[in-house]
Structure 1
């Protein structure tokens, strides 16, 4: 219902747009509605960039962040402020109208999760698959390239691997790869736990 209402509010033609991923929950519904409007106006990349710019601006400004979370701010004040911000940033009409809808409905506090869900949709739209690689230190360019090529061989042609690196000293060493719906945990921390469980198991003397 929200998708249809937002599409109508943007004045776009009622052409059928298929959402590449089924997203659930409030953030998923808002992201799907924005995706449909962006596809109809051929502005998916621009809208994604504008959303990410806004999320970064919120992270950099404690005052802005507080504004997006404050339920006591009247809807009219939220709308006026977000219109000025979007206008000053020269956001597209699609993004500007969408942010106004969020402001009216008190959903600006969810902009980060909405942007992430929208990113999932744009990746599917472009035929990309995200691989999140967690290591103790950043992978050297050559190792990242080799890992990316290996993952590309796994998914085959037709899709493109996009690697996102994360740093987590707690894994001690090795790496953890989250790829699609699978997780390949090759960290030293996990191997140490496996060894610990093995050593604690009672010996099976019956086979000796």
Structure 2
């Protein structure tokens, strides 16, 4: 009961934090950061242009994401939207990722940079042909294989999923707490997020349990992270001041 009470006290504060203009950019959580290496515009353009059809229409990417995974996911999104096969490409991308998780040999192959580019491309083309993947997906995987970026394919799939969700007006929020978020608090959290991202969209909440925290929440959505958890056994009260300090310090 005490833990549930802490969660209830946390949600109104989260609403105030998310809607407040008082936190400047310098006070944003330090955990909002790019997790992937960079890919130069020249490398990106050279690699993907070889496998993509000429541009016939302007397609706006719904989210700005960075790094290797962001660049490749954005390129695939644009190609898939132009060809009107967004859902199919997403399904095929996830199929390959799941296959790599189930097969240690395949997973090792994707990470082994000692394999020549020609061998990687031939293997990927054979896999795509057997799976009857679309040309968009096949061409994309061939580019990723040739450039030695197969090691990033799972992260690319995650970023692509973010783009497809944004395309559909969906936002996924990850909530970490010490106990499952009760239905009433989950609804309140969704309402808070809708106030921020705009009503008319859909919010999907995925809960994670972390027994190392004593109370509070860690909320992640988009590329934002708000950590308002209590992790020290020395902290016995859940105060507004403590939570704001955590936000400002990027804890």
TM-score, length-scaled by structure 2: 0.66
> In the alignment, which residue of structure 2 is the partner of 1:101?
143
SS in 2 for 1:17: coil
Which has the higher Rg, Structure 1 or Structure 2?
Answer: 1
Unaligned runs of 5+ in 1: 199-208
Q: What is the Cα deviation at residue 109 of structure 1?
A: 0.7
Question: Superposition pairs for residues 1-208 of structure 1, below 5 Å?
Answer: 1=42, 2-3=44-45, 6=48, 9-139=51-181, 144-145=186-187, 147-180=189-222, 182-189=224-231, 193=235
CA offsets, 1:25-84, max 9 Å, x none? 222211111111011011122212221222122122211111001111121211111112
Q: Give the Cα–Cα distance (whole angstroms) in 2 for the partners of residues 192 and 178 of structure 1.
A: 26
4+ residue segments displaced more than 6 Å: none
> In the alignment, which residue of structure 2 is the partner of 1:201?
none
CA contact (8 A) 2:213 2:229 kept: yes
Q: What is the Cα deviation at residue 191 of structure 1?
A: 8.4
Q: Give the Cα–Cα distance (whole angstroms) in 2 for the partners of residues 156 and 190 of structure 1.
A: 35
The 3 A distance-change label for structure 1 pair 59 and 139 is farther
Q: Give the Cα–Cα distance (whole angstroms) in 1 for the partners of residues 201 and 145 of structure 2.
A: 36
Q: Give the Cα–Cα distance (whole angstroms) in 2 for the partners of residues 24 and 47 of structure 1.
A: 21
The 3 A distance-change label for structure 1 pair 83 and 69 is same
Answer 1 or 2: higher relative contact order, Cα 8 Å, separation at least 6: 2
Q: Give the Cα–Cα distance (whole angstroms) in 2 for the partners of residues 184 and 28 of structure 1.
A: 22
TM-score, length-scaled by structure 1: 0.78
The 3 A distance-change label for structure 1 pair 167 and 84 is farther
Q: Give the Cα–Cα distance (whole angstroms) in 2 for the partners of residues 3 and 110 of structure 1.
A: 18
Q: What is the Cα deviation at residue 13 of structure 1?
A: 4.3
| Cα RMSD for the two superposed structures | 2.9
Greater helix proportion: 1
Q: Give the Cα–Cα distance (whole angstroms) in 2 for the partners of residues 25 and 182 of structure 1.
A: 16
CA contact (8 A) 1:129 1:180 kept: yes
